[in-house]
């Protein structure tokens, strides 16, 4: 079994504004110029001032009018409270100066700008992570609306069966900086047979970061289910290779894990695959499904009409990759077992025109350092492949479990029934190229009313 | 289906007008009434999924007009509202998962009835039957993370009822059962689509307090 990695492209974002995109075959430099920050909107209505007159003059219309005239107010509207007026200023007059001028008038109790308020419940959530703006993939999924609905719960854990995760300081390994605050539960390293499933490559950390990289901490990039927990399970070695035996063991480990008498692992992500099939892996998947665990896997990166194994298992959600145009990425395998598609990226394109290649950017160990046997240097790097698409769906599954949909078949149905049909498919229909289509997280999470359908 | 429904509605209206016109002036009498009871929805699976139960209290009122000893016409309204939450149901028969987003639904039927009474000699009890038609307005509102979704629709309704009235004088009581149907009112989206339920009608068991303006 091999790591599904169609094109390795890394981008060091550590020293913005320049982002270096290095392809396996050739080196491309892309100048990533951060957009100018938008100045905050005014916190008060321009041209308006609230004026409160003293009680002694509030009922004296003549004195009030004279005072407003003295304050060079163009017009004023009386409020419900006696002596309170909303004054309209002469065009071009400064609110600050008018407040100062009106406050100085003896009849005036106080004057203040007419501040703007809005509903306190956010209908979107925009994180402040430094390089979030490069995450076209999250925008494609409507992540900000999704996060207003559900950010994930720490008691819902996604097991990442991969090359490990840079989740702890142990020996030569260091915890990736943007996992500060991310919840981890103990995992296992089935390659080296120990309890420290650290990442001696980079793939697993990248995949895990898509699910739950620390978010809204002003650092790095965002994860899609950043409120959920992660379990590192290493089943692929430093070259990205693994075996059915270890994959089956990893699935069973995640399925059997107990904390306080319960298993918090509700989703298993398998960004891996290969030809053939395995009874050992099939039985492990059956067990996971029966225990209420959603299993998600990448469809494969051969660009052909055959879904890789174990994604082809009927109890596994096979996920293909699309680019920023919602077109099938050229590497993405397709076929009748394909469940849905998610952003897998295409590092050779820039469809959002931000002058940065449309890879999926997440934190991971710096590949150059890893080549030298060092696991203490990290980058926010871009990769593409169905390995990158699958964790978006695993994260969505974790969000759905956090929202209350606890059965794997129901989670799958909530994702598939609400997907955006692509490739000419009718609403609710599927095709082999895109499966049920591109996942629509907010629609899946919003559920159904009596007669009102999901949020679209 | 639609031409037949139009005919029924038109027929009911014509019949009530004819009865009013034909009634002897001395036998006519107005009464006002308040009514309250329990409404059980035909779309039971949908209601149970969203509200946890398929029924609840309903109340309303109206005006009736007696024509001679036997006939009467009445116009009335009822209101039924219930709170629940948005859910996910994959398919009919699969588990219901509650998602915690509050939802409120309100049904408000306005209808007319043509009825026939069966006076039992000198007894204070008077059984009656009736049929009618009207319009039912439906409003559903739910809020998901700060965004409120509202759906309003109105559909024609039909009903039949049986009841028994008790009393002499100005104040009378009645108990009645009403079966209503509001076809094609739901089933467009939401859980009603999943369950294939399109009728907003149901069965109402209710009591009436009638204040007659003419002593019987």
pLDDT of residue B6: 39
Answer for the pair A391, A264: CB distance below 8 angstroms, yes or no.
no
Chain B residue with CA closest to A445: the answer is B99
Q: pLDDT tens digit string along A317-342? A: 999 999 999 999 999 999 999 999 99
Catalytic residue among A129, A162, A199, A366: A162
Q: What's the gap in Å between the CA of B6 and the closest CA on chain A? A: 25
Q: pLDDT tens digit string along A266-323? A: 999 999 999 999 999 999 999 999 999 999 999 999 999 999 999 999 999 999 999 9
Extents of the domains making up chain B: 3-212
The CATH number fitting domain B3-212, selected from 3.10.20.590, 1.10.569.10, 3.30.465.10, 2.40.160.20: 2.40.160.20
Query: CA angle A442-A401-A440, nearest 5°?
Result: 20
| Low-confidence stretches of chain B (pLDDT beneath 50) | 1-27
Q: What is each CA distance from B124 to A294, B33, B35, B63, B168, in whole angstroms?
A: 67, 18, 20, 21, 6
Say which residues have a Cβ less than 8 Å from residue B62's Cβ, sequence separation at least 6.
Answer: B32, B33, B35, B74, B75, B76, B77
pLDDT of residue B28: 54
Query: Catalytic annotation on A162?
Result: yes
pLDDT of residue A59: 85
Q: Of B49, B84, B93, B99, which to mutate for an interface test with A (greatest number of A Cβ within 10 Å)?
A: B99
- Confidence category of residue A118, pLDDT binned at 50, 70, 90: low
What value does the mean pLDDT take over residues A350-360? 94
- Confidence category of residue A3, pLDDT binned at 50, 70, 90: very low
Residue B72: closest CA among B205, B181, B163, B201: B163
Nearest to B186 among A122, A447, A450 (CB): A450
- Confidence category of residue A116, pLDDT binned at 50, 70, 90: confident
Query: Catalytic annotation on A100?
Result: no
R_g over Cα of chain B: 20
pLDDT of residue A92: 87
Residue A8: closest CA among A294, A364, A375: A364
B172: number of Cβ within 10 Å: 19
Beta-carbon contacts below 8 Å between A and B = 107
Nearest to B149 among A404, A413, A452 (CB): A452
- Confidence category of residue A10, pLDDT binned at 50, 70, 90: very low
What pTM value is reported for the model? 0.80
pLDDT of residue A61: 86
Query: Catalytic annotation on A203?
Result: yes
């Amino acid at each position: 079994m091999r790591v599904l990695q169609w094109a390795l492209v890394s981008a060091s974002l550590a020293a913005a504004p320049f982002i270096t995109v290095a392809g396996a075959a050739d080196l491309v430099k892309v100048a990533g110029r951060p957009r100018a920050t938008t100045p905050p909107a005014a916190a008060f209505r321009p041209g308006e001032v609230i004026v409160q007159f003293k009680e002694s003059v509030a009922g004296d219309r003549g004195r009030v009018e004279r005072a407003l005239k003295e304050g060079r107010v163009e017009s004023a509207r009386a409020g419900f409270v006696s002596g309170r007026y909303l004054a309209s200023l002469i065009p071009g007059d400064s609110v600050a100066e008018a407040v100062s001028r009106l406050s100085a008038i003896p009849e005036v109790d106080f004057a203040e700008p007419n501040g703007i308020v809005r509903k306190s419940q956010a209908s979107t959530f925009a994180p402040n992570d430094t390089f979030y703006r490069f995450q076209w993939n999250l925008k494609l999924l409507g992540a900000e609306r999704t996060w207003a609905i559900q950010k994930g719960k720490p008691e819902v854990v996604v097991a990442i069966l991969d090359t490990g995760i840079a989740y702890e300081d142990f020996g030569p390994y260091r915890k990736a900086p943007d996992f500060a605050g991310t919840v981890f539960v103990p995992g296992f390293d089935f390659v080296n047979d120990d309890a420290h499933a650290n990442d001696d490559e980079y793939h697993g950390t990248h995949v895990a970061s898509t699910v739950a990289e620390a978010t809204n901490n002003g650092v790095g990039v965002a994860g899609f289910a950043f409120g959920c927990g992660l379990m590192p399970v290493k089943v692929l070695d430093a070259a990205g290779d693994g075996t059915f035996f270890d994959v089956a063991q990893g699935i069973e480990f995640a399925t059997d894990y107990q904390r306080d008498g319960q298993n918090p692992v509700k989703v298993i992500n398998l960004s891996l695959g290969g030809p053939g099939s395995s009874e050992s892996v099939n039985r492990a998947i059956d067990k996971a499904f029966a225990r209420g665990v959603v299993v998600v896997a990448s469809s494969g990166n051969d660009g052909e009409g055959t879904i890789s194994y174990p994604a082809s298992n009927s109890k596994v959600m096979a996920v293909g990759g699309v680019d920023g145009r919602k077109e099938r990425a050229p590497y993405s395998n397709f076929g009748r077992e394909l469940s849905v598609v998610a952003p897998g990226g295409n590092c050779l394109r820039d469809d959002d025109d931000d002058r940065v290649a449309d890879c999926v950017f997440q934190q991971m160990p710096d590949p150059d350092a890893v080549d030298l046997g060092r696991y203490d240097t990290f980058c926010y790097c871009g990769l593409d492949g169905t390995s990158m698409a699958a964790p978006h769906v695993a994260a969505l599954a974790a969000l759905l479990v956090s929202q209350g949909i606890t059965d794997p078949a129901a989670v799958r149905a909530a994702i598939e029934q609400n997907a955006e049909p692509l490739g000419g498919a009718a609403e609710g229909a599927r095709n082999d190229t895109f499966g049920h289509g591109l996942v629509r997280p907010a629609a899946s999470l919003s559920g159904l009313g009596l007669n009102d359908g999901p949020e679209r | 289906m639609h031409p037949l429904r139009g005919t029924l509605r038109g027929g009911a209206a014509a019949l009530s007008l004819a009865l009013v016109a034909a009634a002897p002036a001395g036998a006519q009498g107005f009464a006002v009434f308040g009514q309250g009871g329990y409404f059980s929805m035909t779309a039971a699976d949908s209601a149970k999924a969203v509200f946890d139960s398929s029924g609840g209290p309903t109340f309303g009122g109206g005006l009736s007009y007696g024509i001679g000893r036997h006939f009467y016409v009445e116009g009335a309204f009822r209101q039924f509202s219930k709170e629940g939450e948005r859910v996910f149901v994959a398919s009919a028969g699969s588990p219901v998962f509650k998602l915690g987003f509050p939802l409120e639904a309100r049904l408000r039927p306005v209808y007319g009835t043509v009825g026939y009474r069966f006076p039992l000699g000198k007894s204070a009890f008077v059984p009656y039957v009736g049929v009618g038609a009207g319009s039912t307005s439906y409003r559903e509102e739910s809020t998901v993370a700060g965004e409120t979704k509202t759906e309003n629709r109105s559909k024609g309704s039909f009903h039949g009822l049986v009841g028994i009235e008790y009393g002499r004088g100005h104040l009378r009581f009645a108990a009645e059962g009403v079966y209503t149907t509001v076809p094609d009112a739901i089933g467009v989206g939401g859980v009603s689509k999943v369950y294939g339920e399109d009728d907003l009608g149901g069965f109402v068991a209710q009591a009436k307090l009638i204040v007659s303006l003419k002593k019987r």
